[in-house]
Structure 1
Amino acid sequence: MEVTPIGVFYGDAVYKYDAPRQGRLFAGHPGRIELKPGNNFETALRDLEGFERIWVIFQFHENEGWRPTTRPPVPPKGKDRVGTFASRSPYRPNPIGLSCVRLLKIEGLTLYVDEADLLNGTPVLDIKPYIPMADAFPDAKAGWVEEQVGDVWAIEMSEEFAAQNRWIAEHSAFDLESFAQVQLSRGNFSKDVFDSSRRRLTVDEVAKTGVLAYRTFRIHFSYDESARSVLLHRITSGYSAEDLKSGAKDKYGDKDLHRNFQATFESTGST
């Protein structure tokens, strides 16, 4: 069987940890699907714009191999792993994904979507309309996933964090607030929301504080277990002062961004 991509998805999620685990749970992850020209896809798109949602069938292009079991973000009680066919794991015998995204508009061969959980550059294999009458079964049993209900943490941010995140977003393609929402809002029944085995994360369980690494930035937060809430306090650079002052190799090409970030917020007393 030969499968040929019909287009490519483009969005802000570059690394696997940037993308939400389920797009619908995290609105504000927009992107676009650009279909390949010269295939009469313009005609194939006819009548699709009246649908609010579409199914996107895609390729997990950055994965190699598969695993018979997987450890989901929130495992069922008493278990650490579940069978791959009982999960949404991207490591599958055939690296094919299925995502239901919100269709915003269509312009030519470009489909603008939201609530996407795809990485930038994902090959798109097919598109189908989401039809509630045929596709929605709200009373269907969901196996072990039903045990996850209610284990969602509220994420709030301080004025300082909001200002810093806004500055970073204006000067780069990074969105640290969105990343924190993805990483910290859904808990783990067995090891709670701050399971450091899955994230670049350190937690002080006595002080109820933590630091979450996003690339070369650090997100400082506090949390309240009884209220199931996280407060994002501030952002700091992952580089030391010596790193930024030295002429050492700029491996990630972002030291100027960090220098300007520190200069901006040192002047306001925010770092």
Structure 2
Amino acid sequence: MQISPIGKFYGDAVYKYDAPRQGRLFAGHPGCIELAAGQNFEMALRDLEGFERIWVIFQFHENEGWRPTTRPPVPPKGKDRVGTFASRSPYRPNPIGLSCVRLLKVEGLTLFVDEADLLNGTPVLDIKPYIPMADAFPDAKAGWVEEQVGDLWTVEMSDDFSAQHRWIVEHSDFNLESFAQVQLSRGNFSKDVFDSSRRRLTVDTSAHAGVLAYRTFRIHFSYDEPARCVLLQRISSGYSAEDLKPGAEDKYGDKELHRDFLCCRRPGTK
């Protein structure tokens, strides 16, 4: 079998933890698919703009090997793992993914999409239109997933966090609000949302607060378990004052951004 990519997806999600687990749950994850030139794909795209959604078949290009079982972000009750074929795990015998994204517009060989759960640089293998009449089965049983339907939490931003986040977005490619939505909106706080094995996370259950690490920044949040709500309080630097001294090693190339962030003293910054 010979399969060649027809193009690539480009978006803000660079690392695996940046991408939403299911794109449709988090609007505001836009990107574009750029198809290869010289393949007559312009003709292949004809008449596609009339569709609101498209299926994108792609390659999990950053995976190594596969796993027969997987631990879902929200495991079923009484289980820690499920079979790979009963999951959406990216670690599959053949690293092929399927995503139903919203099609915004088509310009030449570029498809602008939203609600995408693909990483930047993902090879795209094929594109097909989503047809509700043939593709939607709203009454179909969803196995163990049905037990997790009520585990969606609301993630909101305080004014301080919003101002800080806006500054960071204007000065970098980082999107901390999007990352927090992905990491803190699924599961229940006693088990899954506060599961530090999947992310760099510390929680003070007595204070109903925690800190979530995003690259070299830290997201401070509080939560209301009865209301199923997370409030993003503020952002701080993960570097110490010693780390940010002139001449210190800059492994990730972002210390100047942190210095500017701290100097601006955005609301809530310490």
User: Which amino acid in structure 2 is aligned with residue 88 of structure 1?
Assistant: R
Give the SS at the match of 1:90.
coil
Query: C-alpha separation between the residues in 1 aligned to 2:172 and 2:17?
Result: 17
Aligned counterparts of 2:102 and 2:16: Cα–Cα separation in 1: 21
Deviation per CA, 1:37-96, whole angstroms, max 9, x where unpaired?
A: 000000000000000000000000000100000000000000000000000000000000
Aligned equivalent of 1:244:
244
State the match for 1:63 in structure 2.
Answer: 63
Instruction: Tell me which stretches of 4 or more aligned residues in structure 1 moved more than 6 Å.
Output: none
Number of the residue aligned with 1:105: 105
**Residue 190 (structure 1) shift:** 6.9
Contact persistence 2:236–2:269 (CA under 8 A): no
How many Å apart are 1:192 and its aligned residue? 3.9
Q: Distance in 1 between matches of 2:219 and 2:53?
A: 33
In angstroms, what is the RMSD of aligned CA positions? 1.1
| Structure 2 CA distance for partners of 1:37 and 1:238, relative to 1, 3 Å | same
Q: What is the CA-CA distance between 1:147 and the residue it aligns to?
A: 0.4
Instruction: Name the residue aligned to 1:28.
Output: 28
2: CA distance, partners of 1:207 / 1:102 = 40
Other-structure match for 1:270? 269
Deviation at 1:17?
0.2
Distance 1:148 1:65 in 2: 28
For 1:134, the aligned partner's letter is: A
CA gap of 1:252–1:189, structure 2 versus 1, over 3 A, is closer
Q: Which SS does the other structure have where 2:94 is aligned? A: coil
- Any idea what the Cα deviations from partners look like across 1:76-132, whole Å, max 9, x if unmatched? 000000000000000000000000000000000000000000000000000000000
**2:85 alignment counterpart:** 85
1:133 aligns with 2:143: no
TM-score (norm: length of structure 2):
0.98
Partner of 2:8: 8
Conserved? CA contact 1:75–1:190, under 8 Å: no
Name the aligned partner's letter for residue 247 of structure 2: G
Give the count of matched residue pairs: 270
Aligned equivalent of 1:42: 42
Paired residues of 2:189 and 2:225 also in contact (CA < 8 A): no
Aligned to 1:219, what secondary structure does the other structure show?
strand
In 1, distance between residues paired with 2:75 and 2:172? Answer: 35
Take 1:66 and 1:41, find their aligned partners in 2: how far apart are those partners? 32
Question: Counterpart of 1:208?
Answer: 208
In the TM superposition, what whole-angstrom CA distance separates every residue of 1:238-261 from its partner, at most 9, and x where no partner exists? Answer: 000010014122100000000000
Aligned to 2:152: 152
Distance in 1, matches of 2:189 and 2:157, equals 24
1:75/1:188 contact within 8 Å kept: no
Amino acid in the other structure paired with 2:138: P
Aligned partners of 1:157, 1:190: CA distance in 2, in Å?
22
* Aligned equivalents of 1:270, 1:14: Cα separation in 2: 26
Q: Which amino acid counterpart does residue 183 of structure 2 have in structure 1?
A: Q
1:217 & 1:143 partners in 2: Cα distance?
38
Aligned partner of 1:184 in structure 2 is 184
Gaps of at least 5 residues in structure 1 are none
Question: Matched residue of 1:243: which SS?
Answer: coil
Counterpart residue number, 1:120: 120
Q: CA deviation at 1:270?
A: 3.4
Asked whether the 8 Å contact 1:9–1:33 carries over to 2, the reply is yes
Q: Deviations over 1:122-152 (max 9, x none)?
A: 0000000000000000000000000001111
Alignment check: 8 A CA contact 1:78 1:190 kept: no
- Indicate if the aligned counterparts of 2:202 and 2:210 stay in contact, CA closer than 8 A: yes
